[in-house]
Structure 1
Amino acid sequence: MSTHFSGLLRTSSSKPQYTFLLLFADLNRIAFHGNHRKHQGPPDLRQSWQSNRRDGTFARAAVPSGASTGIYEALELRDGGSDYLGKGVLKAVDNVNTIIAPALIGKDPTQQTAIDNLMVQQLDGTVNEWGWCKQKLGANAILAVSLAVCKAGASVLKTPLYKHIANIAGNKKLVLPVPAFNEFMVLPVGASSFKEAMKMGVEVYHHLKSVIKKKYGQDAINVGDEGGFAPNIQENKEGLELLKTAIAKAGYTGKVVIGMDVAASEFYKDDKTYDLNFKEDDNDGSQKISGDALKDLYKSFTVDYPIVSIEDPFDQDDWEHYAKLTAEVGAQVQIVGDDLLVTNPKRVQKAIDTKACNALLLKVNQIGSVTESIEAVRMSKKAGWGVMASHRSGETEDTFIADLSVGLATGQIKTGAPCRSERLAKYNQLLRIEEELGAEAVYAGANFRTPVEPY
């Protein structure tokens, strides 16, 4: 698996995010336990599953929240009102207690697909043009239970979570991902192990810190939600130069490459142009460009810099320019759909049919269940795509996506800069998995786009 150190460098201010709510579930009772503060503040959804088996199986999961979210994501149910600035999740908790819990009492947690289908299709049952949308119960309520069930199933079977996930998906080869450290990312594809990849990423991160501090001053090295720096750069090329310099100073030119998370929906305008000066209050619109011009700009970046991945290069509904860019650079560069795909199997299928992109950004909370996430991954791999497992800006200390990335052999993971405990928790879990696998551990490295055959 390849690691992408995401969040190394940010070009826009972080938006406040509120995640957490703490739930406890057992086979006899699922009940609200209390609030737990996520790293950004008010609440997120947490779920614990305790079995009435004699072995006392217990599992806990927490659901993250996104800052920049796609309009096609499944519903994240919030309370509204004044408490927690409207970000409370008591409605979701009540849905777990009164609807989901009674239906799951006595169920076997090893039957992941059956339980997920019960929650998604029967207990919720809401559908829009893109499939199951979780408008009734909330994707955060369903996913909290789905993740906890997955962990409980692994515990019951006495198998590591990543192996349990691999078995559910039908994947026979475990792969440690290349870490992508975003929004400008560095990918240590030249490492021989995940441990070495972490060393490379950390060293580049600290060289980048020194370069930024020298050029922009002390304030520029404050970090955002994902641990990345936010210097006052005026254009993408300036950020790419900073990364290129930091990689060279660390001695990893040729071994560490670059990815971009553009989030282009943030600066797409009603007149179907992209405003490159969208951050400025006194914007006169002089830097608006067409989709074709933006495509050509990306192409120039791939010539001048070692860019191997571009995420969300266009608006989430701009299928035309996604397809154009993929056709022109897709052999050398992966074009990653995040807001475009929202981990939704139906949108993945449309992108496959239209050749709109060639990689999936896997965010389990966008779709709301483990089973649907696995379906999106399997479809992507069968299409020859890459898959990058991903955190959210409003992240928790839950390490599920680390096991998910190994179990599904995604080959890539982005979970922030090597900074902030909720980001480091995932990297530390991957280091533990690599140590546990020992001689059987495989690091994706340069094969991060296709680390295994489709399953």
Structure 2
Amino acid sequence: MGEGGGCSSGPTRDLQKLKQQAMEYYRENDVPRRLEELLNSTFYLQPADVYGHLANCFSKLAKPPTICKVVGKSVLDGLGLPTLQVEIFCTIQNFPKNICSVVISTHFEVHENAPPEVAEAEVAERLDAVNTAVQWVNETITKELQGMAPSSQAEVDQVLRTFFENKVQEDKEKKELEKSVEDSTVLTPSSLMPPPPPPPPAKKKGQKQGRKDTLTEKPVRPPEPVEPVLSGSMAIGAVSLAVAKASAMLGNKPLYLRIASLKHQQGVAMLQQIQKHITKTMEMPSPPKAETKKGHNGGKISQQQVTGKMSHLGCLTINYDTIEQPLLLIQGICANLGLEMGTKLHLAINCAAHELVDYSKGKYEVMTGTYKHAAEMVDLYVDLVSKFPSIIALIDPFRKEDSEQWGSIYSALGSRCHIIAGTASRSVSKLLEDGNISTPRSSGLIIKHTNQTTISDLVEITDLIDSNKHMAVFGSTEGESSDDSLVDLAVGLGVQFIKLGGLSRGERVTKYNRLFTVEEELNQSGALGTRCLLPLLPLSHE
């Protein structure tokens, strides 16, 4: 056995090396002294308590949690359409553990009356975007983030940004290559010849040189092309949010406090019970005969008959004969409930001007069969705010292409209500790239967490908005999910308003309930300040 004993010299040396490393670790971390203090402090405790304290002691000496795996999955959103879910797994005391998951909303608009071929194309595009995002998360992003601490949000977001920039460059090079191949096959000798110059415009008889036809109306600018979205980009925003949520859970704190620690600013979401009463009243079918409803203040206000339907945004879409009719309806409801408009309830109207324009006529169709030029719309809004001073915000009163009218309405109403750019604004990434939030001219912007937008991007854009004395409104996308992280983001970022949609459907009610929970938590901790996060009530039309 003397000769054979040499075979165990390798394992013996390895064991001695491990013992030496353990002794050095204990000496560096002063483990004997800590154990002695712990045993002295637990002298009168039961053995189970001692073991528990020992476990806590060693857990503090363990390596901090690090990301070991990120998993992307395709799930369904509130409309039953595919979207992205991201799960974060961390190594905790040498064991992998599922920490949290988030579901991000897609950027796709929902067209309820779209032709079948358009709807099919949109479904295919959405499915491709989600599948690409799942692939990015499961193949590359999970490898890039392995070993990183969830608490290192800035470092994580930088990795995600770099990854996305590379994908954008790859897509650009691919399109350039496809275009060059297409051009090389399409070009012919005749196509290389310059086109003939256009004929000069015909001069009307009796018209003097340089004289303009005063009867010719300024043509409506065509809509700007939709800002391109790289397929799969939702992976960036989802992973960034999931890492922030994982850090919050590992630190045993709510997500909004984690976001607030990044922002160094805090707000609180306050939702008044009146909103539920208003929504329920508007959703109730009107009786066939005109009736009166006795209010809490003893007065009687007659209710208008309302016919309509519920939109996918949770808004009651009603028919009306005048612009003022929906506002009068809400005013009547508030009076019956003993509430004064402009004191306990304010309105923000989502004008959605891009949905009203009729390009064939070059006008806005404010009601069925009623058309107005862009300049006339300024007068309409001024008159509306004068009649209803409880209106504190107009969202997208014009298309983003009507820059002249944005300036006009801001000059006319900027001191009386907020002029907010929602759809008319650019994406967060474009705003940060340009560093310019003043186009179109407005007093506030709606920002959304979608596609490649990271948590660090949201912190940076809200800082930029604050520094320019603008107002930030945090909004949800149309195809949202039941994930309530959006509320924590809004509170943590310190925005003043949140735009969630109607108080209906589970994916929105969940967020409203989260608002109540945050308010209760901040009330209990004494952190509830005077600055409030207020929800914007939707007002839709048909």
TM-score normalised according to structure 2 size: 0.64
Matched, 1:384 2:478: no
Partner of 1:303: 386
| In structure 1, distance between residues paired with 2:99 and 2:131 | 23
Classify 1:376/1:245 alpha carbon distance in 2 versus 1 (closer, same or farther; 3 Å): same
Matches within 5 A, 1:133-282: 138-171=232-265, 174-177=266-269, 194=270, 197-210=271-284, 220=308, 222-253=309-340, 254-270=343-359, 273-276=362-365
Tell me the amino acid that sits aligned with residue 409 of structure 2: L
8 Å contact from structure 1 (residues 47, 62) kept in 2:
yes
Q: Secondary structure at the match of 2:385?
A: helix
Tell me the amino acid that sits aligned with residue 36 of structure 1: V
Matched, 1:106 2:147: yes
Report the identity percentage: 21
Shift of 1:211: 7.7
Tell me the amino acid that sits aligned with residue 380 of structure 2: L
Classify 1:428/1:405 alpha carbon distance in 2 versus 1 (closer, same or farther; 3 Å): same
Shift of 1:426: 0.8
Matched, 1:415 2:500: yes
Classify 1:121/1:269 alpha carbon distance in 2 versus 1 (closer, same or farther; 3 Å): farther
8 Å contact from structure 1 (residues 308, 334) kept in 2:
yes
Classify 1:119/1:137 alpha carbon distance in 2 versus 1 (closer, same or farther; 3 Å): farther
Classify 1:81/1:266 alpha carbon distance in 2 versus 1 (closer, same or farther; 3 Å): closer
Partner of 2:175: none
Q: Secondary structure at the match of 2:511?
A: helix
Partner of 2:445: 360
Shift of 1:243: 1.7
| In structure 2, distance between residues paired with 1:351 and 1:294 | 26
Q: Secondary structure at the match of 2:347?
A: strand
Tell me the amino acid that sits aligned with residue 283 of structure 2: K
| In structure 2, distance between residues paired with 1:95 and 1:134 | 19
Partner of 2:414: 330
Q: What 5-or-longer segments of structure 1 have no aligned partner?
A: 1-25, 70-79, 178-193, 281-285, 450-455
Q: Secondary structure at the match of 2:318?
A: coil
Q: Residue 312 of structure 1 is aligned with which of 379, 383, 396?
A: 396
8 Å contact from structure 1 (residues 342, 363) kept in 2:
no
| In structure 1, distance between residues paired with 2:348 and 2:510 | 22
Shift of 1:67: 5.6
Partner of 1:426: 511
Q: Secondary structure at the match of 1:230?
A: strand
Partner of 1:283: none
Classify 1:272/1:111 alpha carbon distance in 2 versus 1 (closer, same or farther; 3 Å): farther
Classify 1:238/1:388 alpha carbon distance in 2 versus 1 (closer, same or farther; 3 Å): same
Classify 1:217/1:99 alpha carbon distance in 2 versus 1 (closer, same or farther; 3 Å): farther
Q: Secondary structure at the match of 2:76?
A: coil
Shift of 1:141: 1.4
Tell me the amino acid that sits aligned with residue 373 of structure 2: S
Tell me the amino acid that sits aligned with residue 408 of structure 1: L
Partner of 1:58: 99
Shift of 1:432: 1.1
8 Å contact from structure 2 (residues 153, 456) kept in 1:
yes
Q: Residue 41 of structure 1 is aligned with which of 74, 80, 87?
A: 80
| In structure 2, distance between residues paired with 1:137 and 1:204 | 40
Shift of 1:28: 3.3
| In structure 1, distance between residues paired with 2:430 and 2:107 | 21
8 Å contact from structure 1 (residues 263, 311) kept in 2:
yes
* Per-residue Cα deviation, 1:50-82 (whole angstroms, up to 9, x for no partner): 11123846121111135649xxxxxxxxxx987
| In structure 2, distance between residues paired with 1:32 and 1:167 | 27
Shift of 1:421: 1.2
8 Å contact from structure 1 (residues 342, 367) kept in 2:
no
Q: Secondary structure at the match of 2:101?
A: strand
Tell me the amino acid that sits aligned with residue 149 of structure 1: V
8 Å contact from structure 1 (residues 124, 136) kept in 2:
no
Q: Secondary structure at the match of 1:28?
A: strand
